[in-house]
Amino acid sequence: MISVKELKAANDLIKAYEKTFKKPIKPDKNKKLFTGVDLGTAYIVLAVVDEDGTPIAGGMQFAEVVKDGLVVDYNGAMQIVKKLKAKIEKSIGAELDLAGIAYPPGTDINDCRAIKYVAEACGFRVEYTMDEPTAANNVLHIEDGAVVDIGGGTTGIAVLEKGKVISVTDEPSGGTHLSLVIAGGKGISFLEAEKFKKDRAEHKSLMPMVRPVFEKMASIVKSSIKGHKIDTVYLVGGTCCFEGVEAVMEKQLGIKVVKPDNPMLVTPLGIALGSMREGKKEELLYE
């Protein structure tokens, strides 16, 4: 399990990144910038860090252009990434060039290529590719445990041993299902349910309605980690912003569950940090 100190360091870094959405930082001209491009089922998120790993800027937009790691609306995805990139460039007064992308665990290499093409068509030089749990672990620094990423469309589970991903599962159950249940239960539209669900003040009263969905996710996690010695589960992904998900998981799994303060931003930031680290390695090679 990561220590309290390590979790605090991860939370501080995520918080610093979160702040840059509203208050981007003017980068040092002598330092290289690295962008993480996260194309998800529900959100497209960009994260920019400098060569020291300091968060510089961020941006996100709700988008239905990717389904289960597959780009289903290439032009739509491109337009959003282009817009987010231009907005960040304007706000920091610098151009973004080097970038990394991540693919959901278990996706086909061809689907991953489509994600890369979208970023490249927007003017990024995509030099770094990683799987999503590895990206998340660039922020969390877990040695042994399981990363559970509950996003919009899927729940991805990765088992880590000695800091490396050794087994992955990705099952179709995510925040979209929560919204569908809320929409049905309250007699409102899907988009209204999406908005409603993100209001923290509503989480407590919504819990009885969505608990079965979380329990289903927990049962997926349980069967995915079977046979592995896991003492801690780490929650990432936007759906884990829902208050109380950690308690439901902990009860169902019977093991410790750790949730960073803003689980939604872990993977995008981790893509940028992973790119930065790889970029540094290359520099050392060519020196």
Ligand X SMILES: Nc1ncnc2c1ncn2[C@@H]1O[C@H](COP(=O)(O)OP(=O)(O)OP(=O)(O)O)[C@@H](O)[C@H]1O
Contacting positions for ligand X (CB under 6 A): 40-43, 151-154, 174-176, 194, 197-198, 237-239, 241-242, 264
**What is the nearest approach in angstroms of Mg ion to the Cβ of residue 153?**
8
Q: Does 133 bind Mg ion (CB under 5 A)?
A: no
Q: What is the 3-state secondary structure (H, E, C) of 233-277?
A: EEEECHHHHCCCHHHHHHHHHCCEEECCCCHHHHHHHHHHHHHHH
Task: Tell me whether residue 55 or residue 151 sits nearer to ligand X (CB atom).
Answer: 151
Q: Pick from 27, 40, 133, 274 the residue near Mg ion by CB under 5 A.
A: 40
- Runs of H (alpha helix) within the chain: 4-22, 74-92, 109-121, 132-140, 175-186, 190-197, 203-225, 245-253, 266-286
Closest residue (Cβ) to Mg ion?
151
Instruction: State the binding partner of 43 from Mg ion, ligand X, none, CB within 5 to 8 A by kind.
Output: ligand X
Choices 49-57, 150-158, 167-175, 199-207 (CB under 5 A): range interacting with Mg ion:
150-158
Give Cα separations from 205 to 188, 196, 209, 218 (angstroms).
16, 11, 8, 20
Residue 42 interaction partner, one of ligand X, Mg ion, none, beta carbon < 5-8 Å per kind? ligand X
Q: Judged by CB, which is closer to Mg ion: 40, or 59?
A: 40
Cα–Cα distance between 79 and 77 in angstroms, integer?
A: 6
- 151 is a contact residue toward Mg ion (CB under 5 A): yes
Strand 125-131 and strand 98-103: the pairing is parallel
Write out the residues near Mg ion by the rule CB under 5 A.
40, 151
